[in-house]
Every structure is written in structure tokens, then in C-alpha cells.
Amino acid sequence: MSDPRPPIPATCAARPTVGGLVSPYANVQLAGGGVDFRSQHESRVQRCWRETLCQLCGTAITALPIVLFGGPRQVAALQFDEPPLHPACAVYVSKACPMVAGRQLHYATGDTVSDGRRGDTCPDPECDCGGWVPTPGLNRPAGGDPAHDWFAVYVNGYSLAITEDRPDRVHSAIVDPQQVLHMRHVSTPGIGRTWTLAARTLLDEVHT
């Protein structure tokens, strides 16, 4: 199993930390200084997609490759709902995130941190939003669902998939097979992190 508190990459030097872990840019920040690792911040996720910002460090990905994380179905379809990452940030996430690192057999059950009392107050003192409100339509796996293998797909670009009834909202990235540079198998639930170069079998089954 991988180290749950791996060294922080230089790309994240300016990010706050919680319990020795980087506070991801794309996750809900809490007024008390913490972060909800299970809830994404919708407006920040949209910025990541549209401006090619890294979901972990929040800075622009200005050099290739771009890394997209997903499970077997997403790799087969070449459609990913996790925002992009720098390569160095992807390596960090592959060690730090318990799901991506394969340390959990099922997705967590119960309310998220931001659904409870700690999400009642916005961390921005100038904001009058009244606190955290979950955004309908975000892809949050159901609590108790079985975990799956994770893959890191290195690409040189992607297209944005837009919600049909909300043209202002990006819900995922679509990758052309020719945009795939290489792929790594990240982990298997219960076995842990592998981080090995993966064959293109999942791609070839549907794209040849």
C-alpha cells in the first residue's frame, strides 16, 4: 500500500494542507480551514475544465501531457469526469487519495463533511451565499458502491462535453484515441497502487 501522506510536489507548494495532505483546489473548502475531500466545488471544477487548470494545485497546465484519471468504463469510452491534473500532481494523488491508491474496497457511506455543520458557513467572509449547498448533477458515487481499478491517461488534449439543458456547464472531457499518449494502471482495490504502464487493451476493444 502507498504512503497516505506522500511528499508534497513543488506544483503544490502554495496550496494549504490539512493533516499533512494537500487541500485540492477543486474540492469544497471549509470555513474552519479544512477541506471536504469527498465534495467538489462546482465553480472551481468548471474553471478547471474551461481553463485547463489542475484540479489539485489550481494552476494552469501549460505543458503537455495532461493527465486524466478514470476507471475501466471511462477509459473504454475515453470520457472522463475528473478534471485534469499535472503529471506531478497525478503522481501525488495516486498515493494520497485512498480511493485512487486502492486502499478502500468501497466508497464511503454517510454524509460528507460539507453536508453537516462544518458546511454551514462559507469560507469567504464577504460572501452572502449562506453556506455550502450541494450541486445537483455532480458525479458523486453512491456510498457503499464497490471501488474500481484506476487508470491515469496521459493526453495531449481533450474536448469538452456540455450538459444538454445547461450549455454553460461542462460535465466531462472527451478524448480522441489519437490524443492518448500513454496510460498507466494506477491501482486495484485491496491490492493498492501499482503505477505500471498499461496496455491499450481497454482502448483497442472499442476503438479498433
Task: Annotate the chain with DSSP letters as a single string.
Answer: ---SSPPPPGGGTTS-EETTEE--TTEEEPTTS-EEEEEE-HHHHHHHHHHTB-TTT-SB--SSPEEEEE-HHHHHHTEE-SPPB-HHHHHHHHHH-TTTTT--SBPPPS--GGGSGGGSS-S-TT--S-S--PPTT---PPTTPBP--EEEEEES--EEEEETTEEEEEEEEE--GGGEEEEEEEEETTTEEEEEE--SHHHHHHH-
The pLDDT tens digits of the residues spanning 81-114 come to: 999 999 999 999 999 999 999 999 988 765 655 5
Q: Would you say residue 136 has pLDDT above 70?
A: no
Give residue 93's pLDDT: 97
Domain of residue 176 covers 10-207
Residue 65 lies in a domain: yes
User: How many domains are contained in the chain?
Assistant: 1
Residue 24 lies in a domain: yes
Average pLDDT, the chain: 84
Residue 1 lies in a domain: no
Q: Could you tell me which residue, 26 or 198, shows the higher pLDDT? A: 26
Give residue 165's pLDDT: 83
Residue 152 lies in a domain: yes
Give residue 208's pLDDT: 47
